[in-house]
Amino acid sequence: MTAFVLNDSMKNGPGFVVEERPSDSPFVEKVWRSDSGDVGSFISVVNANWELVFTRQRGKTYVHLRGPETKPTLAECPEEAEFLGIEFKVGTFVPLLPTTRLVDAEMELPEAIAGSFRFGGDTWELPTFENADTFVAELVNEGLVARDPVVEAALGGHPPDLSPRTLQSHFRQATGLPYGAIRQILRAQQTVRLLRKGVPIPDVIHEGGYFDQAHLTHSLKRFIGQTPAQFVSAPAPISFF
């Protein structure tokens, strides 16, 4: 389990603590929780994953499906709110919903009442940070969540013996994005992890397979909304951490 503080560079407050944990589920990337804290706004960066987000605010609970994001945007953090998120692995999808509808978008599910919400025509008890994996297993058993093994194999470096067109079709159906876009997003996220660990920029360029520093700068500016120098010297609060 990991906890970290996201500070708002536009305020002097302590920011807020985000707690996350890995998952034993083959469908889930991670589970996280947090609250509004003192962060007024943050950069919502690109993300190849989609997630279920549960927001409790002033006695009401809202449930959203948030899709993959292809560009960074400035987002406002709701006040006096608590959040629980289940981020799904790339290649996991909702069979009843075209994934393309979630790209750079979100969908609000019917309002949660008395600790439950509506999804796929059924009523579901709100999950917790601790039982999120069990909750996802129930969704899978009901056919509301599935995964494409072709996408998983390709991203794992073992693409099946398929034509490029067929492989591309699998990615678009399962993720809403082309294979190339997914790879670029994942590389940008890994690059940010390296920078956050203090890895020198020349080493980041080498490990990320960038041509030069200009290539690295262009990529992070496009996907994260900050240059490497900005991220290292004065990082703004971003959704990736």
pLDDT tens digit sequence for 22-63: 999 999 999 999 887 666 677 778 899 999 999 998 888 999
Q: How many CB atoms lie within 10 A of CB 124?
A: 19
In 3-state terms, what secondary structure has residue 210? coil
Using CA atoms, how far residue 4 sits from 20, 21, 207, in Å, is: 9, 12, 25
Q: How much of the chain exceeds pLDDT 90, in percent?
A: 61
Predicted local confidence at residue 236, as pLDDT: 59
Q: Under 8 Å CB-to-CB from 191, ≥6 apart: which residues?
A: 204, 208, 216, 219, 220
Segment 208-230 mean pLDDT: 90
Q: How confident is the model at residue 235 (pLDDT cuts 50, 70, 90)?
A: low
